[in-house]
Amino acid sequence: MSRFARERRVFYMEEPVIDSTEPHVKMTVCPRTQVWVATPHVPPDQDRNRVLRRLLAEFARAHDLRNPIVWFYTPMALEFFPDSIEPSAIIYDCMDELSMFRGAPSELRSLEKRLLTKADLVFTGGVSLFEAKRRFHPHVYPFPSGVDLNHFAQARGLKGEFRELEGLPRPRLGYAGVIDERLDLELIDAIAEKRPGWQIVMVGPTAKISRESLPRRANIHWLGMKDYADLPQYFAGWDVGIMPFALNDATRFISPTKTPEYLSAGLPVVSTAIRDVERPYGELGLAKIAHSPDEFIAHAEQAFTVNMSFKWRERADEFLKSISWDSVWGHMNCLISGILAESQAVEPIFGKVAGAAPGGLFDTGSGQESPARV
């Protein structure tokens, strides 16, 4: 969205805050990217979707959003999207098969069917998800996880003794991401038990599972959520980037962002057999794929003892250029411009995203004016 904001106003509507204040939308702008973040506040005793629908309609009028591009990250946003907003294009950015996640709303599948009938373009977060969705829409395009190359490449020139890593013995296996039902906790525990001299560093917030369910050993370090800006410094202190994912419904269609992030940081990668990691990373020799704890350990051990060749890094870097966020944005921009041209729009439209989980809106205007604060 920060890249779309280079051309048009972008508004990103977050999930609502439930509090006792009068319904309103709080606006903040990121000084670095100029993306506007809209946070609705909804009282607990009122119908949430009805209030959100009214707030979004008022928001669009207040910011003169005429015929915006509307960007949905989840079909659930249809429940509060107002009829008064007439999009010039609708994008469904299908990042995951959300209906397979633990606690998914029962109505999610039916809402996705509705969204697929409305959407002009469907982007998927990986090739497996593309294969699953392309039967349901004529314009589905896969966009596996992109990467901020320059950000993570900083790790290659940094010292590895950062905060909690200081004085931690080596070798160190590191993971960065959400810690939830997608992780194979038994695998993590087995690696730690079989190799007590290895340090397993887990960075990220715990969601949808209890912290009590996390394996506890002296060589497993649960560091919690860290700032995105600090991740290269953590990565610099690892010997291998790991993706110990369980093979279940929640991981069937994932395309982990951490694969290119680890590679950008110069780390060898070991993963369980996630399809979108096997293809293309495993096939290209850029990641090792493990089918058992012993195989995971063997791959990691090889990474510790065998220095990654210059040729390997060169191949990895060449591949990463093709999936940088600039590259992803450029391809998406072209596809959206094509849709707008077909609809005889006067000019390409980019500007707002309504919804962290809800969805988004792109302004169709020139983006020269600054939106008033709400």
Mean pLDDT of the region 160-186: 94
Structure confidence at residue 368 as a pLDDT band (50, 70, 90):
very low
3 state DSSP class of 151: helix
User: With helix as H, strand as E and coil as C, how does 95-134 read?
Assistant: CCCHHHCCCCCCCHHHHHHHHHHHCCEEEECCHHHHHHHH
Q: Where in the chain is the domain with CATH 3.40.50.2000?
A: 149-321
Q: In the predicted model, is pLDDT for residue 249 greater than 70?
A: yes
Q: Which of 83-97, 98-112, 119-133, 351-365 has the lowest mean pLDDT?
A: 351-365
pLDDT in tens, 116-172: 999 999 999 888 889 989 999 999 999 988 899 999 999 999 988 898 999 999 999
Q: Which of 183-192, 221-230, 305-314 has the lowest mean pLDDT?
A: 305-314
Alpha-carbon dihedral angle through residues 93, 97, 102, 103, given to the nearest 10 degrees: 60
Q: For residues 149 and 361, which has the higher predicted lDDT (pLDDT)?
A: 149
What is the predicted pLDDT for the residue at 106? Answer: 85
Q: For residues 175 and 348, which has the higher predicted lDDT (pLDDT)?
A: 175
Structure confidence at residue 309 as a pLDDT band (50, 70, 90):
low
What is the predicted pLDDT for the residue at 371? Answer: 30
Structure tokens belonging to residue 79: 């429940």
Backbone angles phi, psi at 70, to 5 degrees: -110, 125
Gap between the Cα atoms of 268 and 134, Å rounded: 33
What is the predicted pLDDT for the residue at 361? Answer: 57
CA distances from 159 to 155, 166, 232, 268, 291 (A): 8, 10, 10, 17, 32
Select from 3.30.1380, 3.40.190, 3.40.50, 1.10.357 the CATH code of 4-144+324-362: 3.40.50
E strands in the chain? 10-13, 17-18, 24-29, 36-42, 69-72, 89-94, 121-124, 140-142, 172-176, 199-203, 220-224, 240-243, 269-272, 288-290, 359-362
What is the predicted pLDDT for the residue at 360? Answer: 54
Q: For residues 103 and 351, which has the higher predicted lDDT (pLDDT)?
A: 103
Mean pLDDT of the region 64-80: 92
Q: In the predicted model, is pLDDT for residue 373 greater than 80?
A: no
The CATH code belonging to domain 149-321 is 3.40.50.2000
What is the predicted pLDDT for the residue at 344? Answer: 60
269-272 sheet: strands from edge to edge: 220-224, 199-203, 172-176, 240-243, 269-272, 288-290
Structure confidence at residue 359 as a pLDDT band (50, 70, 90):
very low
Mean pLDDT of the region 175-197: 97
DSSP code string of 260-285: HHHHHTT--EEEE--HHHIIIIITTT
- CB atoms under 10 Å from CB of 284, counted, come to 11
Structure tokens belonging to residue 330: 């450029």
The residues facing 200 across adjacent strands are 173, 220
Who contacts 234 (Cβ-Cβ below 8 Å, separation ≥6)?
A: 162, 163, 165, 174, 176, 201, 203, 223, 226
Q: Rounded to 5, what percent of the chain is helix, strand, coil?
A: 40, 20, 45
Q: In the predicted model, is pLDDT for residue 369 greater than 50?
A: no
- In sign, the C-alpha dihedral spanning 187, 188, 189, 194 is positive
What is the predicted pLDDT for the residue at 357? Answer: 40
